[in-house]
Structures are given as C-alpha cells and as structure tokens.
Amino acid sequence: MTGARAVSVLTHTRPQQIAAVLERLRQAARACDVQLVFDPAEAEKLDLARDDDAIVVARPGHDDDVGLCVALGGDGTILRALRRFAGADVPVFAVNFGEVGFLASLEPEELDGFGFERAFQREFEVLRLPAIEMQCAGLTAKAFNDISVHRKVGGRVAQLAYGVEGEEVGSVRCDGLVVCTPAGSTGYNLANGGPVLAWGVEGFGVSFIAPHSLTARALVVAPGDVLSVSNHGREEVEVWMDGQAAGEVAPGDQLTARFQPDSAGLAQLPGSSFYRRLRAKFGRLSA
C-alpha cells in the first residue's frame, strides 16, 4: 500500500509529556521524506520551529492532502482526530498518553517494536468505526463515543422519554441517559452498567444515569432504527457529545439519533483483538 507523504498531527494539552515521542516522530518524518501538518493552535502549543522542512503549519480544513493522522494523547484527542477526518480515507494512528486510551493504536513503549516509519507506510490494519448522528434544535453532528443527555448541575431530576421508530419505549425519571457506539460502550455506558458492545457490532446502546426506577433497563437499538429522546421535564437538559458540550433540549423538545456505519478509520496493529484489549484495559471485569 502506498505510504502517506503528508501526515496530520494532533496532540493533547500536556506538551512536555509527549516531547520525546514528538521528536521521534519528527526524526522519522525526515528519514521517510514525510511532511508533518500542524494547525496554528498545535504549532503554538508545541512551540514548533517553523523553519523545519519536515513541518507544515496549515489552517484547520486545509489538510485535505494528508494520508494519515497521528494522535498523541488520550481518548479525547483520538476522538477529536476521528471527528476531523470523518468520512475521509485518513486512518488515525494513536499513541496513548491518557489514563485508559481504549481507542489507542499502541502504548508509547510499543513504538520500539512498531515505529512511526511503519505507520507512515500504513503497515497496519484499519478498523472502520461507526458513529451516531444526532439531530437536535437544528444541529446535526456525529459522535464516535457517545451522546449524553443529563440534567443541569443543581437542576431538577430529568424526565426523559425514549422511543424507537416512533414507538415510545418508556419514560424515566433519572439524571440522564447515554447513547453509545460499540467503541464508546466501554466508557460512560459501562459506568452506568450498560452492555459492552464488541467492535464490529451493528447497532448502538442506551443506558440510564442514576434512574429513579426499578424497571429502567439498558437497550441495544438495531442499526436501521431511529432513536428519539424527549424532554418531558420542566427544565432544559444538557447534551454532550464525546465529552464536549453540544447544546440543550428544551422542555417538550427532542433529539434523534441514527447509527452511521463506516464513518472513520482507526489504525490497529496487525493481529489486534478487541477482547485482548478489553482484558488489558479493564482486567477480567471481576475486580
């Protein structure tokens, strides 16, 4: 497979933590005649020398020619990279500098066995990830991990009704609910006691945050079905997508969520296994 000649780079908020790996990335780029593309905010954050012939500083949206994205950070940074290159044939190769890094391609110490030079040549497998497309109050956006709807801090308990394909399934007093992709099912959804969905499962999960009910149950929605979440309470509820504030749902309004397959590419080392990753990141899930 043809290697990447231009590579976009996204990093997290602690430049000093990634300094050694970033220098390793620059050396590999020089050796492979690859240009590293940073947006101005990244260049300023990292204090990059702009006269380095391996570095290009481009405005966001002007990296159409890149063939790979390298993300140095945790799952938040990786999700930002997936959103930036949603719908494009630009895999995200991620080195974990976060707490869990469930989406990461590898850990920093694994670079000794699989270096950036191999990543530039795309000597990896690409896992195509689905997204959830949300529509709410005129906003359309995609989440690769989850969408959470919850009461405001200090606000009343929410009353959220949820339905599938126009049929109301239930109405629950709760702090909120989470709609997750398979990739995001090991995050907020897992903390709620929701089901873990293996990568490759078609569909998305719904789980409740602190439900005031003995009958509220998590739900897995079929990939072709449309989920609706309606605010039956008296106050606005907040909407967050992949951990970022995205808006509000007013009393009487609703949002809809749809499964969107094949929305972005995540680089995986050859032979990677979801179940091995699950065990490595979360133990045997029995502790």
Backbone region of residue 219 per phi and psi (left: phi > 0; alpha: psi in -120 to 50; beta: other values) = beta
Residues facing residue 56 across a β-bridge: 37
User: Do 46 and 73 form a contact (C-beta atoms < 8 A)?
Assistant: no
H or E element in which residue 172 lies:
strand 167-174
Phi, psi of 78 (to 5 degrees): -65, -40
Give the active site residue among 75, 146, 175, 242. Answer: 75
**Which residue in this structure is represented by tokens 């997204």?**
131
DSSP-assigned letters across all residues of 245-264: EEEEE-TT-EEEEEEEEEEE
Cα 213-182-95 angle, rounded to 5 deg:
125
Backbone region of residue 45 per phi and psi (left: phi > 0; alpha: psi in -120 to 50; beta: other values) = alpha
C-alpha to C-alpha distance for 114 and 83, rounded to whole angstroms:
25
- Reduce the DSSP state of residue 222 to 3 states and report it: coil
* Catalytic residue list contains 51: no
Give me the active site residues, please. 75
